[in-house]
C-alpha cells in the first residue's frame, strides 16, 4: 500500500489523535502536543516505505509527545498513561526483538501496548478495531512470544 498524500493522512487522523491527546493531557496541553505530533509525523513522512498502520504510527508519535510533555511538567517519570498497573506484563525490552516476527496486527497491538503504553481503547482506535479485539490481538501476540521464548 503506497503512502497517501500527507493531507489525506492528516484529514483521516487529526480528530482521533486530538481526542487521544485530550484524554492524556487535558484540553489546553493537548493543543501544543497536537501541533508537535503532526510536525514530527511530517518530518518522518517521506521516509515511510508503505502506508499500512499509519494510524497506529501517528498514535505512537502522539503518545511519545504526550510522555515528553508529562516529563516536562513533572519531576518524576510519567506513570502508566492509562492508569493500569499489572505485574506480570513483559517489559518491552524483553520482547522488542521478537515482535517483528508476529502477524502484523498482533505486532502493532504488542508494540502499542508494551512499547508505548497505549490503552486498549486507543489501540483499537489506532488499528480500526474494537477495544476487545485490540486486547485479544495483544494478548495473542504475547502468548506467541512467550512460546518462542520457552
Partner 1 sequence: MTAVPKALDQRFREAATEAGLVDVSFDVADTQIGPLLLAVTERGLCRISFDPEPDRETETLARTFGVRVLRAPRELDPVRRELDEYFEGRRRDFDLPLDLRGREGFSRDILERLAKVPYGEVTTYKSLAVEAGNPRAARAVGTIMNRNPIPIVLPCHRVVGSNGSLVGYGGGLERKRLLLDLEAGTPRLDIHLS
Radius of gyration, alpha carbons of the chain: 15
Residues in 24-53 at the binding interface with partner 1, rule: CB under 8 A: 31, 34-35, 38-39, 42-43, 45-46, 48
8/148 with CB nearer partner 1: 8
d(CA 41, CA 55): 11
Least separation in angstroms between CB 39 and partner 1 = 6
Least separation in angstroms between CB 102 and partner 1 = 27
Q: Site map for partner 1, 64-103, x if CB under 8 A?
A: ----------------------------------------
CA atoms within 13 A on the CB side of 120: 12
The CA-based angle 53-89-112, given to 5 degrees, is: 15
Query: DSSP alpha helices (H): ranges in the chain?
Result: 6-25, 27-45, 54-73, 92-99, 104-110, 120-127, 131-149
Q: Give me the residues that bind partner 1 (CB under 8 A), please.
A: 3-8, 10, 14-16, 18-19, 22, 31, 34-35, 38-39, 42-43, 45-46, 48
Amino acid at each position: 500500500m503506497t503512502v497517501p498524500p500527507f493531507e489525506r493522512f492528516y484529514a483521516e487522523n487529526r480528530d482521533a489523535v486530538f481526542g487521544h491527546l485530550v484524554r492524556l493531557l487535558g484540553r489546553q496541553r493537548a493543543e501544543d502536543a497536537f501541533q508537535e505530533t503532526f510536525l514530527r509525523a511530517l518530518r518522518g513522512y517521506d521516509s515511510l516505505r508503505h502506508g499500512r498502520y499509519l494510524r497506529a504510527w501517528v498514535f505512537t508519535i502522539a503518545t511519545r509527545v504526550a510522555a515528553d510533555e508529562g516529563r516536562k511538567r513533572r519531576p518524576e517519570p510519567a506513570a502508566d498513561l492509562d492508569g493500569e498497573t499489572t505485574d506480570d506484563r513483559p517489559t518491552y525490552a524483553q520482547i522488542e526483538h521478537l515482535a517483528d516476527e508476529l502477524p502484523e496486527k498482533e505486532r502493532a497491538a504488542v508494540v502499542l501496548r508494551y512499547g508505548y503504553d497505549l490503552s486498549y481503547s486507543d489501540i483499537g482506535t489506532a488499528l480500526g478495531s474494537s477495544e476487545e479485539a485490540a486486547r485479544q490481538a495483544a494478548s495473542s501476540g504475547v502468548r506467541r512470544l512467550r512460546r518462542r521464548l520457552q
